[in-house]
Structure 1
Amino acid sequence: MNQMSQKISNFRTDILQNTQLGRICASGKLFCDRYEIISILGRGGFGVTFLAKNVRLPGHPLCVIKQLCPQMNNPQKLARARKRFAKEAKILGQVGSHSQIPMLLDYFEINGEFYLVQEYISGLNLSQVVKKTGVKNEVSVKQFLRQILPVLQYIHNNHVIHRDIKPHNLLHCQDDGRLVLIDFGAVKEEIAQVNDIYENKQQQTSFVGTMGFAAPEQLSLHPVYASDIYAVGVTCLYLLTGKPPLEFDYDSVTGELCWQQYIDLTPHFTYILNKMLKICVEERFQSAQEVLVALSMESELPTLTDCLSSQRLSMVHTTHSQDDNIQQYLPPVSRTAQAIRQWRTKLKTKIC
């Protein structure tokens, strides 16, 4: 058995022996008199995730149970954790009404341990997709942005910063192909502020995120909505190159990722990615809507080009009651409007 296999084996044994859900996993016993625990899905810094099915509902639908916090002996910390848990569960309940976010099905506390029950999404995450089918081209990545950016806009409108957007947290649903955003960092951050963690070791920092995908301001514990924009930009680079962000070089002056040498993109999309990945928050796109507008402008570029005039001024003959030869200056705005009308007329003629 190699070292990696040994670590995985130890990881599974630790969970199976030291969590309530692990001890009843695959035993046929029910958790909360309704959930049959099937297998371990994973373990993060602040909890363990299990695949389960609700045997009390018709069809025994699958679900995900996350144990967010371990047993706590300090009553004050337990009270703070309970308050934060309730607050974050409420937020998840609000944003989970979106079709591209797993629905919150239940949340509860048992003996100081906190649990979330969410909809199970069957499918591969984007990291698995790239490993299976290879890197994506520009058209595919633009389509990815058009799928994820409205979700980002939705959660930001609900005052939630995800804080951990990366390929592993983006699933392609096997059933209908929709892109689903999972594993909300907002919940993690609230729970992470409680000193007790799973292994009863003191938490040294409240940073939540993934190195390389997290924006600089997030590393300094001041995440903003634009931090999620940065993470989406880094995810685009991974889809285009298959390279994790820490494998890229950084500009020694600006601190920005040096990625252009690995990808051949159109100038407009290069501009969009550069702006998403700006180190300075003020220079970055400030909202998902801004990125969507920039993407939509690309399809309008040929139209705008047709409407541009290289003439410095234009003189047109007009009919006048006193002098048929009087000439009138046409301002640039009017010239552009006239060009648009002419273009639309030509377009209608072609259609007809």
Structure 2
Amino acid sequence: MNPDCEKPINQDVDKYCQSCGTELIFRLRNRFIIIQPLGRGGFGKTYLAEDTDKLKEKCVVKQLVYQAQGPTANKVIIDLFMREAEQLQQLWANPQIPSLFAYFEEGGYLYLVQQYVEGQDLLKELQEEGCFNGQKIEELLKDLLPVFEAIHMRKVIHRDVKPENIMRRGSDGRLILIDFGVSKQLSKSIASIAGTMVGSLGYAAPEQMESGIAQPSSDLYSLGASCFHLMTGINPWSLWKMQGYGWLNEWRQHLQQPIGSELGEILDQLLQVQAKDRYQSATAVLSDLDIQLKEKLQSTSQLPHRGRRQILLWLGLGLGSVFAYERIRNSSKSNDFETEPSIEPGSEDLSSMPEPLSPDPPSPTLESTSEIPLETFSFEVVTVDIQGEVIDRIPKQSKFFRQDLGNGTTLDMVAMPGGKFLMGSPSSELERQGNEGPQHEVTVAAFYMGKYEVTQAQWEEIMGSNPSSFQGANRPVENISWDEAVRFCQELSQQSGKDYRLPSEAEWEYACRAGTNTPFSNGETITSELANYKSSLTYGSGPTGYYRQQSVEVGSFPPNAFGLYDMHGNVSELCQDTFQLYSTAPKDGSARVNTESNRNRIVRGGSWVHDPQICRSAVRFVISPDKGLTTNGFRLALSVKFAS
């Protein structure tokens, strides 16, 4: 390839471009082999490539142009690019966003290398299959809005949402949001330096067109414009050239087939000219969609039995397959990008809510219900104030049993007392995400929880290999998928005669909180002396600290009040559950698994690479069950009735 040439494709044996004589680029970073061009946009070109570090896995190389802006401007852009690419890299855990393999500057260009998605974009689908009907648009919204909810929570704005940048993955039909290219700060800075508008004409929101400034509602406008194009076959830019934004008041007249009034009202609010009049969060749109589905379910009660059964089946499939994140009836109405979705004051009925567990939880009483002889271990619980200063050190004891895995390798399982707690975060909690509420009471039966995250030594003893990127016998095993963690549980159960498993999401949060109701089990903030996370950033008034940039040995930090180590940070921990709305979540602490519509699994606790707010007790994310990351590990759980 010769990226600067109008005819860049050459033979493999050519050392110089046959069109212009320039020396050819065969590999980037001695790793990525360019195969062919895919397209070009306002900031550069896109190429299909192979990643030689990943057994020639296909990837997409984006080459961003930034030269000829002057040395000072260039340095600003490069610095912003590196920071923003690092931010994009933290979106890996979302299965509907392509993974970022690498980012670097080379030869006067900035490069992003991302996972290649096998499939077809929605513009091609429109051209081949015709206009989308209302049901298909509803399915699109319910599949994509949780992705926007996730990226906006991470302070990332896509800025170029259009049918060409929405892929339908061939393997499972899920919609994938592609071509982030650059995010908020980088786009805004390049726009101001180079005088370029970031976004696509016709799809970009008015404020984005006029000033280059975008916010979450700008992405939602672009999503609405994309829905219009898919329903009508008309590119909104062609209407804008004739009518300006006047077409927004008459968009229904272009529909190829009628849609429901409820969906029409949602699209009306997405396509408002003034940002303040639009939905302010993806959570709010999902909430309205959820309400519509509930109303449709209720209306079926008046239908004959056969018709009711058919509609309930359709609605059930829709509800089960689309929601990757919790929706809240009332989301934040703020226009400020820095404000997280939250429940409006007064929308939660807290009068009937129980008091949270006291910071000094009851001692475990499992010996009477289990034949396993328990030992006692002592530890110290550290509590900090809002500035991260230590305000208390309390000696504690918990009971545990030790499982022999062979060859001197052991596993400690700590007794968890049964009890009730408030699951989720209050609407007032700093950096709260919309999928953390509303808080609800959950009753958890007594069980056992791993004292530490499963280590590489334990994994290797059971599985015979070590896939971890950060090697160390006492470090947590990582780079393993949910499916592989389940196989470990099965192998260990067969060997030990006990039914080891992953914890349910409710068990995990109950064990993490250990009787507390603060953002972290150690108090109102977190420090690098208490956990392994991206401590170059702060939570609230907490301090910055030493950012280790990798996992560390388990047990390196003080435990919580139950005697569990590393519940915050180090590696994120896999749970049994597929995603569920808190409004329908089990209240008995059990896992809810619905693999018919959604195999993605819950992951908790944050990791060494995550910002401190992601390590809070209430934060919940999802991950594809077959995807292994260097940020993900797990710890074991064991029910009392299966422990003897």
1:234 to 225, 233, 242: 225
Query: Residue in 2 aligned with 1:4?
Result: none
Aligned mates of 2:109, 2:89 — CA distance in 1 = 19
Q: Decide whether the 8 Å contact of 1:251 with 1:258 is kept in 2.
A: no
Q: Structure 2 CA distance, aligned partners of 1:242 and 1:195?
A: 30
Out of 291, 305, 314, the position equivalent to 1:297 is 291
- Out of 240, 243, 249, the residue aligned to residue 234 of structure 2 is 243
Q: Which residue of 1 aligns with 2:507?
A: none
Task: Single out whichever of 128-137 and 60-69 deviates more from structure 2.
Answer: 60-69
* Cα offset, 1:255, TM superposition: 6.6
Which whole-Å deviations, capped at 9, do the CAs of 1:248-295 have from their partners, x for residues lacking one?
378789673411122211111111111111112222111111111111
**Contact persistence 1:36–1:52 (CA under 8 A):** yes
Does structure 2 conserve the Cα–Cα contact (< 8 Å) formed by 1:101 and 1:180?
Answer: yes
Which among 54, 57, 65 is matched to residue 57 of structure 1? Answer: 54
After alignment, is 187-196 or 288-297 more displaced? 187-196
1:114 and 2:106 matched? no
Is residue 2:78 matched to residue 1:82? Answer: yes
Q: In the alignment, what sits opposite 1:276? A: 270
The one-letter code matched in structure 1 to 2:35 is: I
- Aligned counterparts, 1:193-342, within 5 A: 193-194=189-190, 203=194, 205-221=195-211, 222-248=213-239, 256-263=248-255, 264-301=258-295
The residue number in structure 2 matching 1:93 is 89
Q: Give the C-alpha shift of residue 188 in structure 1.
A: 8.1
Deviation readout 1:318-348 (Å, 9 max, x if unpaired) = xxxxxxxxxxxxxxxxxxxxxxxxxxxxxxx
- Structure 2 residues not aligned, in runs of 5+: 11-16, 302-644
Specify which structure has the higher proportion of helix: 1
Aligned counterpart, 2:354: none
Contact 1:285 1:291 (C-alpha < 8 Å) held by counterparts: yes
Following TM superposition, the consecutive aligned residue runs of length 4 or more in structure 1 with deviations greater than 4 angstroms are: 14-18, 70-73, 249-255, 302-307
For 2:44 and 2:112, locate their aligned partners in 1 and report how far apart those are by CA, in whole Å.
11
> Which residue of 136, 139, 144 maps to 1:143?
139
Q: How many residues align?
A: 286
Measured on the aligned residues, the alpha-carbon RMSD in Å equals 3.2
CA contact (8 A) 2:190 2:196 kept: no
The one-letter code matched in structure 2 to 1:280 is Q
Is the 8 Å Cα contact of residues 205 and 218 (structure 2) preserved in structure 1? yes
Contact 2:159–2:183 (CA under 8 A) maintained in structure 1: no
TM-score with structure 1 setting the length: 0.72
**% identity of equivalent residues:** 34
SS in 1 for 2:172: coil
CA distance, structure 2, for counterparts of residue 303 and residue 117 of structure 1: 44
Deviations 1:295-334 (A, max 9, x none): 1111222567799xxxxxxxxxxxxxxxxxxxxxxxxxxx
Q: CA contact under 8 A between 1:78 and 1:112: conserved in structure 2?
A: no
Contact preservation (8 Å) 1:65, 1:116: yes
Contact residue 85 and residue 191 of structure 1 kept, 8 A: no
Change in Cα spacing, 1:53 to 1:305, as seen in structure 2 (3 Å) is closer
Aligned-partner Cα distance in 1 for 2:197–2:35: 32
Matched-pair contact (CA < 8 Å) for 1:251–1:257: no
What's 1:44 paired with? Answer: 41
CA distance in 2, matches of 1:30, 1:306: 60
Q: Could you tell me how far apart the structure 2 residues matched to 1:30 and 1:89 are?
A: 21
**CA separation of 1:47 and 1:267: change in aligned 2, threshold 3 A:** same
- Between 1:30-39 and 1:149-158, the stretch displaced more is 30-39
